[in-house]
Structure 1
Amino acid sequence: MPRRPVKRVPQLLAILVLAATTAAVWAAWLGWDQHRDVHPDGSVTGPYEAWQVIGLVLTLMPPLYWAASRGYVAGAVLGVTAGLTVAAYVDWSDDSSGLFMVGVLMVMAGSLVTTVGATAVIASMKKRTR
């Protein structure tokens, strides 16, 4: 079976659209909650609740599926990863300790691994249905 050449312009557009969508979804789910919760026992949690992160992930699934099911696997992986990385950097860059970069790198690595896995599953499911 001959391989199709990679369509560069659609892949680039998929990357840009998914990165912008991902950053907007981050702002909608996580951008507004910036305070930490102090519990009666003195422990501190936050600033995000689990339901916010779950909502972010579930909201990102349809655009990821859209791109991956149309063959824009690189666009799906790089767009979501870039969007989450940039959003985390912008959101956390006011941290005075400088440790925010550790968190940003963890977001980048985790989103890269997760989106590679999700797009691989989506692409393989689409190949089976064809």
Structure 2
Amino acid sequence: MRRVTIADRALLLPLLTAALAWAAWLGWDGEKDVAPDGTVSGPYQVWQVLGLVVTVGAAVCWSAYRGRARAGVEGSTAGLVGAAWVDWSQEGDGLVGVGVVLVAAGALAVGWLLATATTALARRG
């Protein structure tokens, strides 16, 4: 049996944080909103997505501050991608792959930006 290393734990914590944050902020809301004029939006509200971004961003910053920036970005991206796939795969509209790729791209871009800034600030202090 393989032992769990520090590198494994550094990747696992942001992964679990991202997946659980998705479930907490977005996973419970699957109903689209219909406005009086018939336009459809949702299912997520702005405050839900911001809550997810702040929660996952904090996990990435924490990892970067502890010297594990890459693990923080990769773990949180994997957690978000997995959660999005599970959440959206039941819709059956064929756009799940597109949405998951966009989630991955956004998570990587924002994650690397946050990790780079946190690492730079940690080195200064």
Identify the residue that residue 70 of structure 1 maps to in structure 2: 66
Give the letter aligned to residue 85 of structure 1: V
For the residue of structure 2 that corresponds to 1:54, the secondary structure is helix
Q: Aligned equivalents of 2:68 and 2:17: distance in 1?
A: 15
Identify the residue that residue 88 of structure 1 maps to in structure 2: 84
Identity, in percent, stands at 44
Structure 1 window deviating more from structure 2 (54-63 vs 13-22): it is 54-63
Larger Rg: 1
TM-score between both structures, scaled by the size of structure 2: 0.93
Conserved 8 A contact 1:11-1:74: no
Identify the residue that residue 47 of structure 1 maps to in structure 2: 43
For the residue of structure 2 that corresponds to 1:101, the secondary structure is helix
Q: Which runs of 5+ in 1 are unaligned?
A: 1-7
Residue in structure 2 matching 1:110, options 96, 106, 110: 106
For the residue of structure 1 that corresponds to 2:36, the secondary structure is coil
Residue in structure 2 matching 1:97, options 81, 93, 101: 93
Structure 1 window deviating more from structure 2 (64-73 vs 85-94): it is 64-73
Corresponding pairs, count: 122
For the residue of structure 2 that corresponds to 1:91, the secondary structure is helix
**Runs of at least 4 residues of structure 1 off by over 6 A?**
none
Conserved 8 A contact 2:57-2:111: no
TM superposition shift of 1:91: 0.3
